[in-house]
Structures are given as C-alpha cells and as structure tokens.
Structure 1
Amino acid sequence: MSALLQLQEHGQSYWLDNLTRGMLVDGGLARRVETEGLRGVTSNPAIFHNAITGSAQYDADIARFTAAGLGVEDVYDRLTIADVQGACDILRGVWQSSGGVDGYVSLEVSPHLANDTEGTVREARRLHDEVARENVLIKIPGTPAGVPAIRQALFEGVNVNVTLLFSIAAYEAVADAHTEALEQRLEAGRSVDHVASVASFFVSRIDGLTDRRIEALADQAEGDAARCEALLGKAAIANAKLAYVGFQQRLATDRWARLARLGARPQRMLWASTSTKNPAYSDVMYVEPLIGDLTVNTLPEKTIDAFRDHGRVAGTLTEGVDEARRTMVELAAVGIELDEVTDQLLAEGVEKFAVPFDQLLASLAERMARQPAAAVASGSATP
C-alpha cells in the first residue's frame, strides 16, 4: 500500500496545497482522489496568482466577464469561486463517505481584511453563500482581529479553515473560539453536528526564520556555536508537537465531552507550510514526524511525490514530546525568543498573501484592458 494511503490508518488525512483550472479540466484532481487517497484541497491568493497568471485556460472567462462590464475584483471572485466549486464537486464523494470529516476545499477571505473583524465576517458569509457547497471551508487568518470573526462565522454555521497559526498561544485562542461558537449555537437552539473547522498550524516557516537567527548567534558565540548549531531544524517540529499536546488535552476535558455527546466535531489540527525549504533537510521532514490522529497535512505536489516515493509511515506525532520541551528550553537559553519569531512570521504571512493578491488583481486588470470593447466570448472554460 502506498505511503499516502497508509496515512489514513493513523488518523491523518492529506490535502493538496494547490488548485488550478487545469487539474479540474484534465481529470488530474479526480485521479488523485480516486487512486491516491487525496482527501481535500487548500488554496490561497498565492496559489490563485500562479494558477491564473500562468494559464490561458481562464482567458475565455476573462473576456466574457469583461464584456459583461464586471470590475476586476468581481472577475477575481468569479474565477476563483468557479475553481473552488469545481473542486468541491469532485471531492463531494469524499465528503459524503467520510460523514463530513473530509472532502473540503478552502477559499480565503481577502488578506487585506486580516485586521478587520467585521469585514472578515461579512466576507466569510458572502463567500460561503457564493460558493454554495456544503464542503467549502472559508479561510480566516488567526490574527487577534480574526479570532472573533472565526467565532462568529462558526456560530453562523460557516465552516472555517483558520490559517496563519504560528504560535501555540494563537492556536489556543482559536481553539477557544471554536468551542465557544459551538456552545453559543447550543444556547441558541442550533445543532453543532454539521459545523466543520480545521486549525492550520504553519511549520517550515518556523525553521526558516529560527535557523537564520540561530546561525547569526552561532557566528557571534564564543564557545557556544555547537550548542546553537545543534538546534538547527528543531524548532518547527517541537512547536507543532507541543501544540498537538494542547489539542489532545482539550479533547479530554468534560467541556469538550459534553459537546461531543451532542455531535460536535473536533477542530482538527492541520499542518501547513510543509514543503522543505532548506535543501540540506529531508524533503519529507515536515510529514514523517507529524503523523497522528485527527490531523491533516496539506502538501504541495512536490512533497506528495517525495512522500509517495520514500516516505515512512508511523504514528509519530505523540513521540518525542519531552525532547520538544527540551528544545524550547534550549532555544530560549541561546537567546531565541519563539514568541518574537512567531509574531514576525504572522506579520510576514499576511503580507505574503496580500502581495500576490494585489499582483493578481493588477494582472487581471491588464488582461481585461486588452479585451476589445465589444468582446463577447464564444464560450466559457469554467468547469
């Protein structure tokens, strides 16, 4: 059995961290679902930027929408929503057979709303209604302004993929919001058994920034360079394992047991940013150590191929927790404040989605401007 299929035996689903019109049209996404055990899809502004600017498959729709007098943001909406709807339809069978556990496709609110609670709620509500698929997840960043928006969206029955989680404290705030939303639904006489959510905890970016800081400290250290260098590539996995400990503890409480008896689903932890950026590290470094129950790992194609080829599958997520705690102590001892790392990564993460979002809108505006004034597309490539 392929390593990808074996993940399910340990309670983990893997989702594809990419979405393009091409994989919908040529059957590539459907084949992954049918033969490789793919259980979901995630998208973000960077993914859509690469998909739309790098393909002519959107040209007919762009021409048609331009001729209809739509503005650039409306065209962006139409293109991305159509792709998400197409992916939702392909994954609907997974959603049905899993009882609503898997089979989801994620669509992100505008990154410019990261610090706007009310704007985020309105956008999440709108996107949920526009996609009109039971297996869509609306991505909301776990910023301080995002947390109350997440709570409100879940209360209203909007399924949420919480993104840009780097710190354990941020994850705990999001997990509290999830629990509170379900309790508020019960108080309002609403059911909790069809509310789905995942908490996307970012991994490789932690090592990227922490390693740079460690290397700078090692260069300055007198006699402690080896101690610093021993911590390279250790922070991200340690951080994730300790966050998962909190997840397990939460599920063991009487508070959660009450919700579970009434049909509530756990807000699964999702490992995001799992491609290996440092060529000195294993290309499955952020997959193999994070396999555990009630989790998702969202993977780009390159990492999927690597794991299929030589990945080792075992229930590793609960192993090495004491070592993870020691890693955190050692990081602090050499001068690495992980809170500073995660704060910086959150700020950078919002920008890293805002930049491609704006670039895509600019690219769409240019393509729309090149359309003849009276252009009427003869057909649509919309799946």
Structure 2
Amino acid sequence: MKNPLAQIPDFGQSIWLDYIRRKFIASGELQALIDNDDLRGVTSNPAIFEEAIAHSDDYTQAIHDLAKAGKSAEEIFLAIAIEDVQNAAHLFHDVYERTNALDGYVSLEVSPSLALDTEGTIAEAKSSWKTLDSKNVMIKIPGTKEGLPAITEVIGSGINVNVTLLFGLERYREVAEAYIAGLEELDKKGQPLENVASVASFFLSRIDAMVDPLLEKIVAENTGRSLEAKQLIGKVAIASARVAYHIYKEVFGSERFKALEAKGAKPQRLLWASTSTKNPAYRDVIYIEELIGPNTVNTVPKDTLNAFRDHGKPADRLEAGIEEAQWVLYQLEDVVGIKLLDISKKLEEEGIQKFIKPYTSLIDVLNQKREEALAS
C-alpha cells in the first residue's frame, strides 16, 4: 500500500517541499523523496537559504571561490542559489516530462527588498530566468500591489511565476487576473501558451496565528460576541483557503480564460503555503488534510512532510463545507468585527519583513566569509 504522501496525487493535488540545501540535493535525499513519496516540486525563500548557507559548511568552498573571483556578497548569494535551484530542477526533469509540464518545478525568489518595486522585480525576474536557463523553474514574485504589473509583464514574457505572500481573497483574485492578462500579452506576441506555468501561494498558518489571539481576547472579555468568537478559533485560515478555491474555479472557469485554454494555457493553480502548524493544540497536518483537492499544490516543510507520511489521512476534503467556510468569514467580519482586509494587509507587511530580515542577515554573513576568503 502506498504511503499517505504518495496517495495525495490520487486526489489531484501535488506535494512540493518547502526546503532546499546543497547537501540535501547531492546526498540523494531529495531523489529518494521523489521516488518514494511522489514529491513533485521544491520551493525556496530567503529564510530557507539563510538557514542553509549561514548554518552549514555545505557552501564554504563555493563562497571562497566566488569571493576570490571578485563577487560581491549579493552576487555570491545569487550564484549559490541559482546552482542549487538548477541542480534540484535537474532531479525533477522526469517529473516535469511525466506530468506534461504541470509539475517538477523548483522556485527561486526575487530579492525581498524588491517586494514594493515593480521595475526592479521585473528586471531581476528576467535576469534570473535567463541565468537559470531551465524550463522547470519558477520565479517567485510577491503578490503585493506593486507585484501585480510585474506578474503580468513576466508571464507575458513566457516566464513561469510562483506568486508568493498571498493572504487575502481580494488580492488573490487580482493575482489570478494579472496572470490571465500576462497570458493575453503572450498570445498577442504569437508565443505558445502551453509552456507557461504559474502557482498562487496562499499562506495559511500565519492567518490563524494572527486571528486566533484576537478571537481569544474577545472570548476572555466575555462580551456579547464571545460565543461566536470561540466558534471561529482555528477555522479562519482553512475557511479562507476554501473560499479562495471557489474564486479559482470562478476565474478559471470564465469565458475569458477558456479562450486562452483553447490555445493551450494552463490555469494558475492555488498553492497552499505556510502549512506547518504554529499552534501545538492543532493537529500537526491540519493544513494538508483539510485542503486536499483537485488542481492544487501544497508546499510543506520537511517536518510536516514526515508527519503526514507517518499519520496523515489523505482524502478529497477541499470542497467539503464551502457554505461553512463562507459562514466562518461572515461571522468573523460582520458579527465579531474582525476585518480580513486589515489582517491580510498586516500579514503582507509582516511577510515582507520576515524575508528581508534573514536576507539581510545572510548578506552580512556572506560579507564576513568573503572578507575571510580574501584575507586568506
């Protein structure tokens, strides 16, 4: 019998891993996950690379060689990241071919300092894509207001995009429409549409981590809203995801998209991100189990991947309870008085900072290692 992870694709969902490190790729560990768990992709971010580069000796020789070649700390980081992504993408080439370019992608993020810089994002996305020189990679672009025109431009240039840092439903709809606009641009240029792939990364546990304390405070104050607030604890992220999927089906079932689909375009799949459980009171695989469904991706950290392999219960649950999900969001806003738009805005701002901080730390470490290499 297949292990629980390997059963998830039977329900139309692909599991990607939210982790990358040079030794992990070279040792055969990543290949084993592809072979045994039907792992279908990898995502990376500045925090993951900071952990890998600053806290291991995997990169000592590479940093030394790049420093001696006169590279800056930023250039050293990009060279290291690109090599890791290329090596991982090579391992996923067969997955990419077997799934007809649906899966097998490895994602590389633009610099987090560009999250509010449209032109800078476009320039770095195009530059990294050219350097990576691989069909089965995605460039991660934050789904900020400034990121929307960048998504359209980059998709319109035939580049695969993983839209990251999505927390709100309104912004998710804008991102889906930005993707379609990019496909329309590509079509106007007479370029093939079937070669372009994209995912929209909707972050989950961070929503509950921000909303739950607000609900718990209302419960503790024992006001007229306490009972309603108590019923919503731990439910808002999954409810948001289910409603986002409802939007996905509406946008990609539209006549506008169907015209592109007839020319080979793929829908931009929803990807569930931030799926490790922050609250120990919740089941450690809740953000996988509750959101398994067709035409979706879930990117999970190693610990959560191992937990699901051990005791996960795969089943198609994503579309179960859409009415309840809509009721949860209605109660949250109109009865309890917590506005999701305010929450998603705060989470977006926090999310940018949570990637800038490790990136800055990493550049500081690389500067130090660079000076040591030059001094030797």
TM-score by length of 2: 0.98
Map of 1:340 onto structure 2: 342
Structure 1 residue 226, shift from structure 2 partner: 3.1
Residue aligned with 2:232, SS: coil
- Counterparts of 1:190-201 in structure 2 under 5 Å? 190-201=191-202
Paired with 2:190 and 2:81, the residues of 1 have a C-alpha distance of 34
Residue aligned with 2:201, SS: strand
Paired with 2:69 and 2:188, the residues of 1 have a C-alpha distance of 46
Structure 1 residue 220, shift from structure 2 partner: 2.1
Paired with 2:338 and 2:86, the residues of 1 have a C-alpha distance of 43
Paired with 2:156 and 2:223, the residues of 1 have a C-alpha distance of 54
Q: Conserved in 1, the CA contact under 8 Å of 2:122 and 2:150?
A: yes
Deviations 1:61-88 (A, max 9, x none): 1111111111111111111111111101
Single out whichever of 183-192 and 158-167 deviates more from structure 2: 183-192
Paired with 1:245 and 1:297, the residues of 2 have a C-alpha distance of 17
Letter in 1 for 2:192: S
Structure 1 residue 354, shift from structure 2 partner: 0.4
- Counterparts of 1:32-181 in structure 2 under 5 Å? 32-181=33-182
Map of 1:251 onto structure 2: 252
Moved over 6 A (4+): none
Residue aligned with 1:16, SS: strand
2:278 is the counterpart of 1:277: yes
Deviations 1:81-105 (A, max 9, x none): 1111110111111111111000000
Single out whichever of 98-107 and 325-334 deviates more from structure 2: 325-334
Residue aligned with 2:165, SS: strand
Letter in 1 for 2:19: N
Structure 1 residue 336, shift from structure 2 partner: 1.1
Map of 1:355 onto structure 2: 357
Paired with 1:170 and 1:193, the residues of 2 have a C-alpha distance of 25
Map of 2:209 onto structure 1: 208
Paired with 2:301 and 2:321, the residues of 1 have a C-alpha distance of 26
Deviations 1:9-44 (A, max 9, x none): 111000000000111111110111111100000000
Structure 1 residue 5, shift from structure 2 partner: 1.1
Map of 1:381 onto structure 2: none
Paired with 2:365 and 2:325, the residues of 1 have a C-alpha distance of 44
2:233 is the counterpart of 1:232: yes
Paired with 2:112 and 2:295, the residues of 1 have a C-alpha distance of 28
Map of 2:301 onto structure 1: 300
Structure 1 residue 227, shift from structure 2 partner: 2.5
Deviations 1:299-337 (A, max 9, x none): 001111111111111111111000001101111211211
Residue aligned with 2:190, SS: coil
Unpaired stretches in structure 1, ≥5 consecutive residues:
376-383
Letter in 2 for 1:297: N
Residue aligned with 1:287, SS: helix
Structure 1 residue 223, shift from structure 2 partner: 4.8
Letter in 1 for 2:175: V
Map of 2:332 onto structure 1: 331
Sequence identity of aligned pairs in percent?
A: 44
Structure 1 residue 372, shift from structure 2 partner: 4.5
Letter in 2 for 1:125: K
Q: Conserved in 1, the CA contact under 8 Å of 2:6 and 2:36?
A: no
Between the two proteins, the alignment pairs up a number of residues equal to 374
Paired with 1:224 and 1:119, the residues of 2 have a C-alpha distance of 46
Map of 2:367 onto structure 1: 365
Residue aligned with 1:314, SS: coil
Paired with 1:217 and 1:264, the residues of 2 have a C-alpha distance of 47
Paired with 1:299 and 1:190, the residues of 2 have a C-alpha distance of 34
Residue aligned with 1:201, SS: strand
Paired with 1:328 and 1:341, the residues of 2 have a C-alpha distance of 12
Paired with 2:266 and 2:372, the residues of 1 have a C-alpha distance of 49
Structure 1 residue 163, shift from structure 2 partner: 0.2
Paired with 1:269 and 1:224, the residues of 2 have a C-alpha distance of 33
Single out whichever of 264-273 and 214-223 deviates more from structure 2: 214-223
Residue aligned with 1:200, SS: strand
Residue aligned with 1:230, SS: helix
Paired with 1:76 and 1:188, the residues of 2 have a C-alpha distance of 34
Paired with 1:223 and 1:74, the residues of 2 have a C-alpha distance of 57
Letter in 1 for 2:105: Y
Letter in 2 for 1:366: Q
Letter in 2 for 1:134: K
